[in-house]
Amino acid sequence: MRTILIWGAGRIGRGFVGDIFREAQGFSTVYADIDRELNDALDRAQTYTVAKATREGIKRTRVSGFKAVHTSDEKALSELFAREELLLDIAVHEPKLVQVADMLAPMFERRARAGLPMDVMMNVNMARPDACFSRLMRERLSPAARVFFEANVGVTGIFAMCISPPAPDWLKSEDPLALWNNGWETQTISRTALKCPPPNAPRLLLTDDIEREETRKLYTLNMAHALLSYLGLPKGLKTSLEAVREPELRKILEGALRESSRGLEWRYGFSEAEMAVWREKIIGLLENPYIEDGLQRLGVDTRRKLSANDRLVGPAGLCLGAGMEPSNLIRAIRAGFEYENPDEGTREVREYYTKNGLAASVKKYCALTPSDGLYGRIISE
């Protein structure tokens, strides 16, 4: 029996990854989370609801047969990491990755001493989460464990478009542990990154170019979320569904998706027809009447979301490289510097922007200089 350890029992970890492995053959599921109250509730209930809300309606699924451990339970985690056939999925927000790496490093040290290979799937919504996690682990491991890690631990990013806002109150009243998502069914991982046999899970797909798929999703769906947030909030809009239905904002969004598409075609070889179908798919996800994601939440952490290779500056640079003006993406980038939220990354950006202005902020947070064509286009009014 193989074990899937899902690090992060939140909306993606439980509501998406856990649901996928509910159908996997020969796997037991364990959740590890820092929230002790959540762990205790999962232990007591031993089951929870996943409500999949698509444009066609709502389908409920029950997930059971799992265990839950606290991330401070060294004994339980050591036992898990001693299992020969362990698969790890990290499903946390990007700002938590450093903390996760700190907690996991001792476990990888023990696994290296035991000579046990394993694979890690990165369900982290950022550019190249696999490279980021590998770097964090190399910085924390001893020389011998580092050599073992690089040779025997496969780290793969993932491609999925599961949108999972907080569950509505009526669903939480039925099941306090219930989760709510858009019904996206599959998760794609890198075939070439794996060091162990691929899991026998019908909804887990393999690709030879995960970066291509990750980037397309980040530069279209996640780009759309950020754009709707930064341009929709000043209009008094509250949700992604309201924003995508607002005529002026819809026009800007469609323009930004065309700009991202041009860049992706140029950089990754997607065809024009393929990207046209993809844009329709993105709009369809955003128009799902059951998924009203809060615009305030979608904009969180501008320090990351305005960075060079993330969802706005990244596709704008590709678009410009492909010979097309990224005017709609630039509008979203500028608006991002005006976004306010109490999270640490956004507070830092806002304080710097207020004190130093747009030009200096674009240099610092977008990693652009006056020699970059995109820099002048962003700061010009």
Average pLDDT over residues 343-353: 97
pLDDT interval class at 120 (50, 70, 90): very high
DSSP state letter for 185: -
Q: Name the strand (E) or helix (H) holding 93.
A: none
Q: Give percent of the chain above pLDDT 90.
A: 95
Query: Hey, how many other C-beta atoms are within 10 angstroms of the C-beta on 152?
Result: 16
| Residue 164, phi then psi, degrees to nearest 5 | -135, 80
Q: Give pLDDT, residue 126.
A: 85
Q: Give pLDDT, residue 367.
A: 97
Say whether pLDDT at 23 is over 90.
no
Query: What is the domain class of 212-379 according to CATH?
Result: mainly alpha
Strand segments (E) across the chain = 2-7, 27-33, 47-54, 57-64, 66-70, 86-90, 118-122, 153-159, 179-181, 187-190, 204-207
The answer to whether 45 and 71 have CB atoms below 8 angstroms apart is no
Average pLDDT over residues 18-40: 94
DSSP bridge pairs for 63: 48
**What CATH architecture is 2-208?**
3-Layer(aba) Sandwich (3.40)
Query: Quick check: pTM over 0.75?
Result: yes
pLDDT interval class at 154 (50, 70, 90): very high
| Residue 332, phi then psi, degrees to nearest 5 | -70, -40
pLDDT interval class at 60 (50, 70, 90): very high
Say whether pLDDT at 209 is over 80.
yes
Q: Give pLDDT, residue 206.
A: 96
Domains 2-208 and 212-379 share a fold: no
Tell me the average pLDDT of the chain.
Answer: 96
Q: Give pLDDT, residue 127.
A: 82
Average pLDDT over residues 290-307: 95
Which pLDDT tens digit goes with each residue over 274-291? 999 999 999 999 999 999
CA distance between the termini of the chain: 61
Q: Smallest Cα–Cα separation from 73: which of 21, 30, 114?
A: 30
Q: Where are the chain's structural domains? A: 2-208, 212-379
DSSP string, 232-258: HGGGT--BHHHHHHSHHHHHHHHHHHH
Q: Give pLDDT, residue 125.
A: 85
The answer to whether 307 and 354 have CB atoms below 8 angstroms apart is no
Q: Give percent of the chain above pLDDT 70.
A: 100
Q: Give pLDDT, residue 381.
A: 60
